[in-house]
A = this chain, B = another copy of it.
Amino acid sequence: MKAKVYVTIKENVLDPQGNAVQGALHSLGFSEVGKVRIGKFMEVELDAADRAQAEAQLKSMCEKLLANTVVEDYRFELEG
């Protein structure tokens, strides 16, 4: 089973990387660009008996390792 995991910085947390990219885009002439927020996108292959088990595994992985839930949100999608 394949999963896509999205980890994003919480709305009320500063994103200096996003601000740097926004500044760089402005410097390149893309003055129409507003806020930029940068997160992570992970593709994970996993063996699971069914979707429910895969979802439970992914939730646990996100809580324990993939996301820092103090400052980040996560969501995932299962394929196939």
Question: Does A38 lie within 8 Å of B41, measured CB to CB?
Answer: yes
A77 interface hit (Cβ, 8 Å)? no
Partner of A42, one of B21, B32, B57: B21
Tell me how many chains of this kind the complex includes: 2
- Chain B residues, Cβ within 8 Å of A36: 42-45
Question: Does B8 lie within 8 Å of A32, measured CB to CB?
Answer: no
Which range holds the interface residue count of chain A?
20 to 34
Docked Cα-Cα span, A47 to B18, in Å, equals 17
Question: Does A45 lie within 8 Å of B39, measured CB to CB?
Answer: no
A-B CB contact pairs (8 Å), 20 listed: A7-B41, A21-B65, A25-B65, A28-B61, A30-B60, A30-B61, A32-B57, A33-B44, A33-B45, A34-B45, A34-B46, A34-B47, A35-B45, A36-B42, A37-B43, A38-B40, A38-B43, A39-B41, A39-B42, A40-B41
